Structures are given as structure tokens and as C-alpha cells.
Amino acid sequence: MPASDLLEDCIVVTQVNPAPLPNQEPLPTGTHNWVLSFDLEWAWMKIRQVQEGLPFGEWPVWWFKHMVGHPRVVGTDNSVGRIYLTGRALLQGDTLYLYRPKDSLDITHLPVTNHFESICALTGPTDMDRRETVGVAHKPDQLLPASHFRLCYRRANQDWRIRDHGLPWGHPDALIFVYTYVGDLNGNWMDGGSHIFHDGPIYIDEHEVAHFIDPDEDRRN
């Protein structure tokens, strides 16, 4: 894809619907697996609670406009732009708060195939064989120093962006692409659109997987 197309693609922000959210049931207490995505029909962010044994369309859904917290990211669905999380969730007003359970499995240290196998068990076949065709533009096996990173789905290539807002927009290292996300998200806010953010370091491994690192040691332990 030409650089001009990449730039144009990255500055398009789908704005959140200003209409009030519908009345919603409280989120279930305790630790659960969740699916995070942007609802293109209603223009709100949404999460679904994973319900093993039920079709995806029957998983309960909640909408929100802002997100903050520290869930564990366990993978993505690259065909449609969904992020898979585990943790506790609380919805207050328009804001979703996420909490990483201290006793949860530290999936970031498992072989990358295990991430996809665990997601496959919940969602069906994944795209491991597509890895060679993604065309990710970055240098694998690198640690990105802590910064304010914007995260979003690149639908045209079915992969994921990481934009470093600590660098000038046109800096050659400000925008990179990865195959998927995992790790301890330090999510802080949304930009009024379909992006979420991570504050902290990110390690990109040789498999083109971005591992989020929470800079707060108390939340990591």
C-alpha cells in the first residue's frame, strides 16, 4: 500500500455516536473473558461476554463511549477487528472500567501459538496461515520505550496499528503495524472515536506480536 494511502487511512477517526446509550443490565461480577470492538452500526464501542457453547451472536453485549483500565489482552480476531480480553469489568455511565485479575494466567510468556489456540477454542478457526500475507511493516524483536500509543484495526490489511503519539506525526518510527496484540494493557482513554490507547512499553516479538507491558509493577504482580 502506498505511503499516502497509509497516512490517509490512519487519520480517519470514526466518531462516537453522541446519542445517549440505551438502558443496560449491570455487567456480571467477577473475572470473565470479553470481546472488545467498535459497533459500526451504532457507532459506540462495545464488549461481549464470551459464552462457551453459545453462538457468537447470542453472547450478551454492552455499549460504552469511554474506556479506562488494565485488562489482560489475550489475542485478536483479525478478520473483523475484535480484541479479546480477560478481567473484571464495571460500567458506570458511559465509561467502561476494566481490571486485570491478579491470579490470571500470564499469557504473554507463553509461545505465540498458544495465544491463537486459546482464542480458537472460543471463536473458531484463526488466521495463523495468513501471517505470511499480512505485510507488516516493522522490525520484529524490538522494545518500544514507554509512550502514549494509539491502537486501532487496519481493516484493509486485516492487521493492527501502533501509533506513537510521543513522536512527530511524520516520524518514520511513529507508525508501525503488527499481526496481533497480547499482554497487560494500561488503557487510559479514547479519542472520541474508535481508538484505544496504551501508556507504557510495548515489546514486538519475532512473530510480529505486540506485547503490552504495564509500567505499574503493583498491577503486574
Question: What is 34-83 written as a DSSP string?
Answer: EEEEEETTTTEEEEEE--TTS-GGGS-EEEESEEEE-PEEEEEETTTTEE
Instruction: Please indicate, yes or no, if residue 105 is contained in any of the structural domains.
Output: yes
Q: 115 pLDDT band (50/70/90 cuts)?
A: very low
* Residue 218 clears pLDDT 80, i.e. is over it: no
Instruction: Please indicate, yes or no, if residue 22 is contained in any of the structural domains.
Output: no
pTM (two decimals)? 0.80
> 27-38: string of b/e by CB count within 10 Å (b at 16+)?
beeebbbbbbbb
**Which domain does 158 fall in, by range?**
3-12+27-214
Instruction: Determine the Cα–Cα distance for residues 199 and 219; give it in Å rounded to an integer.
Output: 14
* Residue 26 clears pLDDT 90, i.e. is over it: yes
Instruction: Please indicate, yes or no, if residue 20 is contained in any of the structural domains.
Output: no
pLDDT tens across 148-165, in order?
Answer: 999 989 888 889 999 999
Phi, psi of 122 (to 5 degrees): -95, -35
Instruction: Please indicate, yes or no, if residue 21 is contained in any of the structural domains.
Output: no
Instruction: Please indicate, yes or no, if residue 17 is contained in any of the structural domains.
Output: no
The predicted pLDDT at position 31 comes to 92
Question: 472515536: which residue's cell?
Answer: 193
The predicted pLDDT at position 161 comes to 93
Percentage with pLDDT > 70 across the chain: 73
**What is the 8-class DSSP label of residue 177?**
E
Instruction: Please indicate, yes or no, if residue 142 is contained in any of the structural domains.
Output: yes
Domain count within the chain: 1
Instruction: Determine the Cα–Cα distance for residues 75 and 115; give it in Å rounded to an integer.
Output: 6
The predicted pLDDT at position 190 comes to 66
DSSP of 9-30, one letter per residue?
Answer: HHH---PPP-SPPPP-PPPPSS
Instruction: Determine the Cα–Cα distance for residues 180 and 115; give it in Å rounded to an integer.
Output: 10
Question: 518500544: which residue's cell?
Answer: 144
Instruction: Please indicate, yes or no, if residue 18 is contained in any of the structural domains.
Output: no
Residue-averaged pLDDT of the chain? 79
Smallest Cα–Cα separation from 157: which of 140, 171, 175? 175
The predicted pLDDT at position 139 comes to 63
Question: 497480547: which residue's cell?
Answer: 182
Residue 111 CB: number of other CB atoms within 10 A? 9
Instruction: Please indicate, yes or no, if residue 132 is contained in any of the structural domains.
Output: yes
The predicted pLDDT at position 155 comes to 87
Secondary structure element (H or E) that encloses residue 122, with its range: helix 112-123
